[in-house]
Amino acid sequence: MSAIDHLLVVGVGLIGGSFALDLKRQGLVRRVTGAGRSAANLVRAHELGIIDTVAADVGIAARDADLVLLAVPVGAMPAVFAQLSEALPTDALITDVGSTKCDVIAAARAGLGPRIARFVPAHPIAGAERSGAEAARVGLFVGKPLILTPLAENDAADVARIEALWRACGAEVARMDAREHDHVFAAVSHLPHLAAFALMEELAGRPQASTYFRYAGSGFRDFTRIAGSHPEMWRDIAVANRGALLDELDAYIAKLQDVRALLQQHDGAALERLFARARAARREWIGNRNHE
């Protein structure tokens, strides 16, 4: 695989920074420029050897980029596409790491216009407990899923090029339709985050909240761990994946209402069957995970 001459990373955090580090380590990129909102973070990324240059302006930095990685919150992507549209060389590729895909693709179409074919959408599934350049590390993506949601307009060689870079980082690449992607992640990631935020916020708003929290144990701790996630990032994801997430919220609320009805009717047998199905499904899932 030929090396990339100039990689521009917009948003040098856990994901963007780790991608740059992995490619550098393997000699797959010659020069990395970093762009982003926080000058302090970019200076730190430079100190850590993640980037070689700090871009004063995305448009200017893009002029001789071969590949641009968008690793900003999904709500910030439309503005970046607009900045790239004018500046980017016609043969440069763009990819992203957004947790939602339909809205990012829509923003790319709006921002890039006829050059949409150069954008290959992607989503690496890597934990985001920590953030910023400080959190970036070599090997973050090893064994982690990376989902490509190619566009009809994409050239097969370009998609293969992006796939090869992620494979070089150790990711296990799958391809999926963007709509399917958004439905799957609404169910297994976005909804649980909203459900954990909602439970925590509801309890915290009660007059006697401190008594409640005092007796919360390890089950509560694990159930609400993702309620410690970043509010702005999750605001963007929720709004970006609004359609699928509304469907998931409706399905979950309906299931909770079913549970409520069984309890109201004193139907212990049906509750036990529901709990048993849940436990069996979880055990099977955990078994498959450990097996991989």
Residue selected from 91, 205, 207, 291 as contacting a copy of itself according to rule CB under 8 A = 205
Q: Report, in Å, the least distance between residue 110 CB and a copy of itself.
A: 17
Residue selected from 68, 155, 268, 291 as contacting a copy of itself according to rule CB under 8 A = 268
Told to check if 234 binds a copy of itself by CB under 8 A, we report yes
H/E segment holding residue 275? helix 268-291
Residue selected from 93, 192, 207, 291 as contacting a copy of itself according to rule CB under 8 A = 192
Burial of residue 201 (number of CB atoms within 10 Å: 0-12, 13-18, 19+): exposed
Q: Residue 39 is which amino acid?
A: A
Residue selected from 90, 91, 215, 291 as contacting a copy of itself according to rule CB under 8 A = 215
Told to check if 287 binds a copy of itself by CB under 8 A, we report no
- Which one of 14-22, 60-68, 135-143, 182-190 is the stretch in contact with a copy of itself (CB under 8 A)? 182-190
Q: SS in 3 state form for 128-172?
A: CCCCCHHHCCCCCCCCCEEEECCCCCCCHHHHHHHHHHHHHCCCE
How many residues sit in the footprint of a copy of itself (CB under 8 A)?
Answer: 89
Told to check if 187 binds a copy of itself by CB under 8 A, we report yes
- Which one of 28-36, 40-48, 107-115, 217-225 is the stretch in contact with a copy of itself (CB under 8 A)? 217-225
Residue selected from 51, 156, 285, 291 as contacting a copy of itself according to rule CB under 8 A = 285
Residue ranges in 14-73 that form contacts with a copy of itself under rule CB under 8 A: none
Q: Residue 144 is which amino acid?
A: K
- Which one of 76-84, 93-101, 131-139, 262-270 is the stretch in contact with a copy of itself (CB under 8 A)? 262-270
Residue ranges in 133-152 that form contacts with a copy of itself under rule CB under 8 A: 145, 147
Neighbours of 198 (CB within 10 A): 12
Tokens describing residue 127: 């934990």
Please state, in angstroms and rounded to a whole number, the distance separating the CA atoms of residues 23 and 46. 16
Q: Which residues contact 73 (CB under 8 A, 6 or more apart)?
A: 11, 232, 233, 236
Q: Report, in Å, the least distance between residue 180 CB and a copy of itself.
A: 8
Q: Report, in Å, the least distance between residue 132 CB and a copy of itself.
A: 17
DSSP, res 3: P
Told to check if 286 binds a copy of itself by CB under 8 A, we report yes
Strands 145-148 and 122-124: antiparallel
